[in-house]
Amino acid sequence: MELEPSLEEMKAGFQSPCYKGALLDVRRSSDDSSLGIYPAHGSDRQLTVETLHISCKSDTYRGRKHKYGGIVIYARNGETVWYTANNSHCKSGYVVIMQTDTKAFEDLQAKWRNEPGKVHGIIYRRAFGESCKGMKVVGEGFGIMKGEFKIISGVFNAADDDYHDNSSFMNQYTAQYVEAVVDIWKRAGPNFPARQNYGVNELVN
């Protein structure tokens, strides 16, 4: 069984501006204003992430006793600004967090049992009104278990595209930024965070 690295082990490895993980090649810009996500072979475009946006479709945080799953989407069908089937307006760095131990979520898992994965594919479809199957979605998945940030997803992190390898973990570099947003979301508790958009340059020192 593959063990998830601790946060301390992850941070200890942040010695280079270029990190290779589930997302193969992530680089921070020289002025720290954005992250660049690069394809392995140059056949696809570079993706630039300037902000992380907490979607209003997210649930609120109700404490450590509950389970949550989340996704961050960087591109869909080659676009970095797009509209989904339910007219959600998205751009690179779009974050959705949902509570996954509710009866309503379990009912969706039973209803949409053919969606990729047991959690992250359901979150995608519930948020956007469309399946990620048959779409070229570049993203990452994560979880919050007993209040702790988890970086594993077999759906988005090990995707079969030119941006990912076959690891089910998030890229350790992007995980820092996503965890910072998750911490903001958690601190808001049952209230939605006062802001939805957070610049890359303000999230991680």
Cβ contact 165:137 at 8 Å? no
Domain spans in the chain, listed from the N-terminal domain onward = 17-189
Nearest-angstrom CA–CA distance, 29 and 125: 32
Confidence of residue 202 (pLDDT cuts 50, 70, 90): very high
User: Model pTM?
Assistant: 0.88
Q: Per DSSP, which regions of the chain are E strands?
A: 18-19, 25-28, 35-38, 47-49, 51-54, 67-76, 81-83, 89-91, 94-99, 137-145, 148-150, 197-199
Res 157: pLDDT? 65
Degrees (nearest 5) of the Cα angle 127, 35, 188? 50
Confidence of residue 117 (pLDDT cuts 50, 70, 90): confident
Looking at the predicted structure, is the pLDDT value of residue 53 above 70? yes
Res 98: pLDDT? 98
| Residues paired with residue 53 on neighbouring β-strands, in sequence order | 94, 197
